[in-house]
């Protein structure tokens, strides 16, 4: 029997971007969008165009480039947001406009300060404005998980009558339990007279670690779209993870009445790309995409897997895109081989100049590290795009770090501030600490260091280290990234990248605040 289709709606670039410090540039969004398209994601929510001019441009660029997936933008239910969103998605081959308004008593009273009847009117107006741009309209009653069932039935019936073609039920604060959430979807579909005129969708947050379980319960009760993010990125504890939903449905086809179109071999590359761009690393024991997800440590398990893989594995690592690190390029590879590999990875550089700069970086890296893997190329391109952000106020020119047993570690560096080179030095508890202190001597940012983490990009001691630095200042949180075969240099680059982001003061609105 042919299975029904489960629509995969990816919101990594919208809800995922709402994670503190995860904001993405236009180029980064384009790279992620291409990977999502390659993975056959049905709907890509590319951003919230009213958030900032930068996000408007990013959504517009994604809408122009993506051809095989629907491109969606988010808008609060007001005329300005809806029109801004409508303009941003206009160029898409298949556009969708997603508008939302809160429906729980606490949100209506305390956040919106609106009466329930006004909320209904506003939702209907927003859908009516949206129809001037597209017929593909999604409506979400925000905080549905804590909303009154009768009220939800009233507003959703009106939303469908007004023209919403997808009704998305968000558990905005991750409060619901699988059984209750499944029943909510069942009841809404049963009670709303025109419920069959819309696709039912769910959007679950992970505050209680139940986002995936709640989404799966909803699918069992008739939801045919799931909103999710790569690596489960998203506000607070994140959203339902795309890879977990897709693989649960694919692996348990005996239990689910539907399946997705996802090319699962693109899952691990997508996970790596998103963690590389955002600096949100993936925990080793994360299902599907964690480094240990297919590693067997216990001898008894190893023995079993060698005899027959399915004794301990319910999925095949290669089906989700794990492969042995593949040597792709080396120091003798030429420009054409480099360019061809970037094309295979779906990376398009904006100009010949950007290609020349990336090729130079590649050659410098190949001098230090003989074997260059796909992951190295991804990191190199991320670095290249960081350097080309308009916001580059500080730039690392050179760094010397010294550590010796029994001696106090020391760093000396030359940093360009708005083009003027300055030399500074400092001692610290280690070479990284000394470098950060030296940078602070010049920048004096007063920012608080929230996170410092180092990961190998590939394996081996000659691997590049990828460093994430998270800084907070005046209520803003930014992530800085840096990669190098020398982790002290990678750390300094990541710190400077974060300082540049703080300096750029680019502000974006969060749709839900
Ligand atoms: O969590 C939420 O309610 C949302 C909506 C905008 C769908 O992100
Ligand atoms: Zn959300």
Cβ–ligand 1 distance for 17 under 6 Å, the answer no
pLDDT digits (tens, 9 = 90+) for 235-288: 999 999 999 999 999 999 999 999 999 999 999 999 999 998 998 999 999 999
**With a 6 A CB cut-off, is 468 part of the ligand 1 pocket?**
no
Q: Is 203 in the pocket of ligand 1 (CB under 6 A)?
A: yes
Select from 10, 100, 166, 238 the residue to mutate for testing ligand 1; criterion: most ligand atoms less than 8 Å from CB: 100
Say if residue 494's pLDDT is above 80. Answer: yes
- What local confidence, expressed as pLDDT, does residue 297 receive? 59
Mean pLDDT of 54-61: 97
Kindly report, residue by residue over 65-94, the tens digit of the pLDDT. 999 999 999 999 999 999 999 999 999 999
pLDDT of residue 36: 98
DSSP for 324-336? PPPEEE-TT--HH
Q: Could you tell me if the CB of 100 is within 6 A of ligand 1?
A: yes
User: Which stretch of 212-221, 223-232, 296-305 has the lowest confidence by average pLDDT?
Assistant: 296-305
pLDDT at position 331 is 86
Is residue 296 pLDDT above 70, yes or no?
Answer: no
pLDDT band of residue 446 (cuts 50, 70, 90) is: very high
Give the residue, out of 12, 74, 97, with the most ligand 1 atoms within 8 A of its beta carbon, to mutate for a pocket test: 74
Smallest-distance ligand from the CA of 138:
1
Give CA angle at 348 (133, 11), nearest 5°: 45
Q: Give the number of whichever ligand sits closest to the CA of residue 510.
A: 1
- Per-residue model confidence (pLDDT) at position 374: 83
Of the pLDDT bands very low, low, confident and very high (cuts 50, 70, 90), residue 332 is confident
State the pLDDT at residue 307. 76
Residue located nearest, by CA, to atom 2 of ligand 1: 172
Top mutation candidate among 9, 73, 99, 170 for ligand 1, by most atoms within 8 Å of CB = 170
Q: What is the pLDDT of residue 458?
A: 81
Q: How many C-beta atoms lie closer than 10 Å to residue 189's C-beta?
A: 17
Q: 203 CA to middle of ligand 1, Å?
A: 7
For residue 324, the model assigns a pLDDT of 65
**How does pLDDT run across 307-318, given as a tens digit for each residue?**
777 888 899 999
What is the model's pLDDT at position 310?
80
Quote the ligand 2 centre to 421 CA distance (angstroms): 44
Q: At what angle do helices 335-344 and 352-368 cross, to 10 degrees?
A: 100
The pLDDT-based confidence of 1 (bands split at 50, 70, 90) is: confident
pLDDT at 259: 98
In angstroms, what is the span from residue 210 Cα to ligand 2's centroid?
14
Distance 231 CA to ligand 2 centre (A): 15
pTM above 0.75, yes or no: yes
| Rounded Cα gap, residues 404 and 266, in angstroms | 44
For ligand 1, atom 8, name the residue with the nearest CA. 15
Q: Which ligand is nearest to the CA of 77?
A: 1
**What's residue 407's pLDDT?**
94
Ligand 1 close to Cβ of residue 369 (< 6 A): no
pLDDT tens profile 94-136: 999 999 999 999 999 999 999 999 999 999 999 999 999 999 9
Give 462-512 as a DSSP string. TSPEEEEEEEEETTEEEEEEEEESSHHHHHHHHHHHHHHHHHH------TT
| pLDDT score of 302 more than 80 | no
For 347-368, how does the pLDDT look when each residue is reduced to its tens digit (9 = 90+)?
878 788 888 889 998 999 999 8
| Ligand 1 pocket check for 170: Cβ under 6 Å | yes
- Taking a C-beta distance cutoff of 8 angstroms, is the pair 169, 188 a contact? yes
For residue 61, give the 3-state DSSP assignment: helix
pLDDT in tens, 369-408: 878 888 888 888 887 776 665 468 999 999 999 999 999 9
Taking the C-alpha atoms of residue 20 and residue 455, their distance in angstroms, rounded to an integer, is 20
Going from the Cα of 231 to the center of ligand 1, the distance in angstroms, rounded, reads: 18
């Amino acid at each position: 029997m042919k299975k029904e289709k489960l629509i995969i709606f990816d919101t990594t670039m919208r809800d995922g971007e709402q994670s503190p410090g995860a904001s993405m540039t236009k180029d980064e969004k384009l790279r992620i969008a291409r990977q999502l398209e390659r993975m056959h994601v049905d709907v890509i929510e590319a951003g919230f165009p009213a958030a900032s001019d930068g996000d408007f441009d990013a959504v517009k660029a994604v809408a122009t480039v993506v051809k095989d997936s629907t491109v969606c933008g988010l808008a609060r239910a007001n005329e300005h947001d809806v029109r801004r969103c409508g303009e941003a998605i206009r160029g898409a081959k298949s556009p969708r406009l997603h508008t939302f308004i809160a429906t729980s008593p606490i949100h209506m009273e305390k956040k919106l300060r609106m009466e329930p009847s006004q909320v209904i009117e506003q939702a209907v107006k927003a859908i009516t404005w949206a129809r001037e741009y597209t017929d593909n309209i999604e409506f979400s009653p925000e905080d549905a998980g804590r909303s009154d069932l009768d009220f939800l039935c009233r507003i959703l019936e009106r939303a469908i009558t007004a023209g919403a073609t997808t009704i998305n039920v968000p558990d905005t604060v991750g409060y619901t339990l699988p059984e209750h959430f499944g029943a909510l979807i069942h009841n809404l579909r049963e009670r709303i007279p025109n419920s069959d005129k819309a696709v039912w969708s769910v959007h679950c947050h992970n505050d209680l670690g139940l986002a995936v379980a709640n989404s799966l319960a909803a699918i069992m009760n008739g939801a045919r779209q799931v909103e999710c993010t790569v690596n489960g990125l998203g506000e607070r504890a994140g959203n339902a993870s795309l890879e977990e939903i897709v693989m649960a449905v694919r692996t348990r086809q005996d239990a689910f009445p539907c399946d997705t179109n996802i090319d699962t071999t693109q899952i691990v590359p997508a996970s790596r790309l998103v963690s590389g761009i955002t600096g949100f690393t993936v925990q080793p024991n994360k299902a599907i995409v964690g480094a240990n997800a297919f590693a067997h440590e216990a001898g008894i398990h190893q023995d079993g897997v060698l005899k027959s893989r399915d004794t301990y594995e319910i999925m095949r690592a290669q089906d989700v895109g794990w492969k042995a690190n593949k040597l792709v390029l080396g120091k003798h590879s030429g420009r054409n081989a480099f360019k061809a590999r970037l094309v295979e990875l779906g990376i398009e550089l904006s100009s010949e100049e950007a290609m020349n700069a990336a090729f130079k970086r590649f050659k410098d890296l190949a001098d230090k590290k003989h074997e260059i893997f796909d992951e190295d190329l991804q990191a190199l391109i991320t670095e290249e795009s960081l350097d080309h952000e308009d916001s580059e106020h500080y730039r690392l020119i050179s760094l010397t770090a010294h550590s010796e047993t029994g001696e106090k570690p020391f760093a000396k560096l030359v940093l360009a501030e708005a083009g003027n080179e300055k030399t500074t030095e400092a001692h610290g508890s280690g070479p990284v600490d000394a470098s950060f202190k030296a940078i602070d001597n010049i920048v004096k940012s007063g920012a608080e260091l929230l996170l410092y983490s180092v990961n190998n990009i590939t394996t081996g001691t000659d691997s590049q280290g990828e460093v994430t630095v998270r800084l907070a200042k005046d209520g803003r949180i930014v992530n800085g990234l840096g990669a190098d075969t020398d982790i002290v240099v990678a750390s300094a680059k990541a710190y400077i990248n974060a300082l540049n982001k703080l300096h750029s003061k680019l502000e974006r609105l969060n749709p839900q605040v």
